[in-house]
């Protein structure tokens, strides 16, 4: 059964937009809330008719949780997917202070405040579930010598995102709300294109955000309290560059969901 209402945080493009379209085809679009940074008028044409756009939600700002609660107008949500994220590549000698603050804020500070605001305002429905889009990039175990260093802010902020999701799972246990961190696969979106990763799409099994939305929604159906607080890959090892080297060949043959190591 799909959730009765869905909130997608960071819905203007890429995976967030694909998830809005996916859920608006499964449940009444009026039960799908999509947050954007700009104004609703600028963005509403890209969403299916009826989707409720919550405007001016900036995950680098302290009021992010309050703005979302205000935008829900009293509706209790059954699924929250925190998608907002930024990837600014770095290498030694060119680390960028401001970019790092932005990545950590959006990927590992804002999610705490979003969940806190939703919880303390009773904005979760009794069957609610939470998904945080982190990444296999935030797994220390999956980093290798061959891949090398760099990517300090991106990988570090995703590792921090995995940690805060794990901690939130303890806080949410009493309310019976599972929270999972997920790696969505390697996606053909502006994020990877702008980071110069387009040349690896074919070799590394990249998928479109629309293709990734289905496995994510199937994962949400399975998500229960035993799976809470962990890092998962709904599509299995596909799109995880170091999976075979670190986890072994067998893992590449298994279908998802695959639990990933920290």
Ligand X SMILES: NC(=O)c1ccc[n+]([C@@H]2O[C@H](COP(=O)([O-])OP(=O)(O)OC[C@H]3O[C@@H](n4cnc5c(N)ncnc54)[C@H](OP(=O)(O)O)[C@@H]3O)[C@@H](O)[C@H]2O)c1
Which residue ranges make up the site for ligand X (CB under 6 A)? Answer: 10, 12-16, 37, 57-60, 83-86, 106, 133, 135, 183-184, 186-187, 189-192, 209
Q: What is the DSSP string of 123-160?
A: -EEEEEEEEEE--GGG-STT--TTT-S--HHHHHHHHH
129 versus 183: smaller Cβ distance to ligand X? 183
CB of 31 to ligand X, least distance (A): 20
37 versus 166: smaller Cβ distance to ligand X? 37
CB of 3 to ligand X, least distance (A): 19
Helix axes 14-26, 209-222, angle to 10 degrees: 60
CB of 136 to ligand X, least distance (A): 7
Helix axes 64-72, 110-120, angle to 10 degrees: 40
Phi and psi angles of residue 33, each rounded to the nearest 5 degrees, phi first = -110, 130
State the Cα angle at 36 between 123 and 170, rounded to 5°.
40
CB of 118 to ligand X, least distance (A): 16
Residues in the chain: 262
75 versus 204: smaller Cβ distance to ligand X? 204
128 versus 216: smaller Cβ distance to ligand X? 216
4 versus 252: smaller Cβ distance to ligand X? 252
Residue environment code for 151-177, b if the CB has 16+ CB neighbours within 10 A, otherwise e: bbbbbbbbbbbbebbbebbeebeeeeb
CB of 210 to ligand X, least distance (A): 11
């Amino acid at each position: 059964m799909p959730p009765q209402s869905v909130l997608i945080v960071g819905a203007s493009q890429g995976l967030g937009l694909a998830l809005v379209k996916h859920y608006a085809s499964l449940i009444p679009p009026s039960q799908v809330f999509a947050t954007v940074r700009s104004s609703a008028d600028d963005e509403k044409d890209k969403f299916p008719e009826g989707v409720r756009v919550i405007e001016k939600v900036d995950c680098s700002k302290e009021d992010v949780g309050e703005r979302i609660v205000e935008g829900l107008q009293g509706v209790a949500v059954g699924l929250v997917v925190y998608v907002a994220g930024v990837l600014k590549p770095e290498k030694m000698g060119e680390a960028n202070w401001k970019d790092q603050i932005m990545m950590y804020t959006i990927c590992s500070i804002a999610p705490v405040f979003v969940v806190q605001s939703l919880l303390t305002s009773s904005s979760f429905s009794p069957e609610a579930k939470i998904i945080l889009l982190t990444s296999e990039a935030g797994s220390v175990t999956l980093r290798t010598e061959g891949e090398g260093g760099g990517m300090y802010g991106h990988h570090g902020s995703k590792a921090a995102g995995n940690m805060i999701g794990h901690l939130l799972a303890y806080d949410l246990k009493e309310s019976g709300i599972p929270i999972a961190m997920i790696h969505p696969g390697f996606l053909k979106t502006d994020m990877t294109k702008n980071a110069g990763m387009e040349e690896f799409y074919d070799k590394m099994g990249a998928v479109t955000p629309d293709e990734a939305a289905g496995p994510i929604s199937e994962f949400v159906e399975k998500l229960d309290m035993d799976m809470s607080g962990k890092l998962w890959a709904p599509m299995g090892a596909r799109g995880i560059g170091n999976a075979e080297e670190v986890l072994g060949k067998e893992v590449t043959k298994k279908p998802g969901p695959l639990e990933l190591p920290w």
